[in-house]
Amino acid sequence: MSESMNYLEIEGKIAEALKNVYDPEIPVNIYDLGLIYEIDVTEKAEANIKMTLTAPNCPMVDMLLSDVEEAVMAVEGVEKVNVNLVFDPPWEKSMLSEEAKLELGFL
């Protein structure tokens, strides 16, 4: 891990990178959709991402997980990515960021 970047900086860069990953069925990035539950970077430069889907039977799950891994691996200071897909708590519209609510017409 780079001496110049601490874990919080890397986690912030990962969050920014995830704002470039979009659910193919919704015109909002997965971070603002509230699909990312947790970002944790270990001392071994492993990024552990806990995320969910808008629906458990999402047909685009493989592509979405691949896009997440690719985006996170591109972040300086990350050597490995582990994506943990969870469905508890289930995703709901209240998890949307203000920007996402505005984009989707919920405000």
| Residue 6 structure tokens | 């601490």
Average pLDDT score over residue span 59-68:
94
Which residues, in sequence order, are bridge partners of residue 82? 48
Residue 56 token pair: 């458990």
pTM of the model: 0.90
Beta strands 36-41 and 46-51: pairing type? antiparallel
Question: Hey, which residues does 80 pair with through a beta bridge?
Answer: 46
For the segment(s) 7-92, the CATH number from 2.60.40.1930, 3.40.1030.10, 3.30.300.130, 2.170.150.20 is 3.30.300.130
- Helices H / strands E in the chain, number of each: 3, 3
User: Does the pLDDT value for residue 17 go beyond 90?
Assistant: yes
**Residue 59 in tokens:** 């047909």
Q: What is the pLDDT of residue 93?
A: 92
What's the rounded mean pLDDT across residues 75-100? 95
Name which of 5-14, 15-24, 35-44, 69-78 the model is least confident about. Answer: 5-14
Choose among 23, 47, 20, 24: nearest CA to 35.
23
Domain residue spans of the chain: 7-92
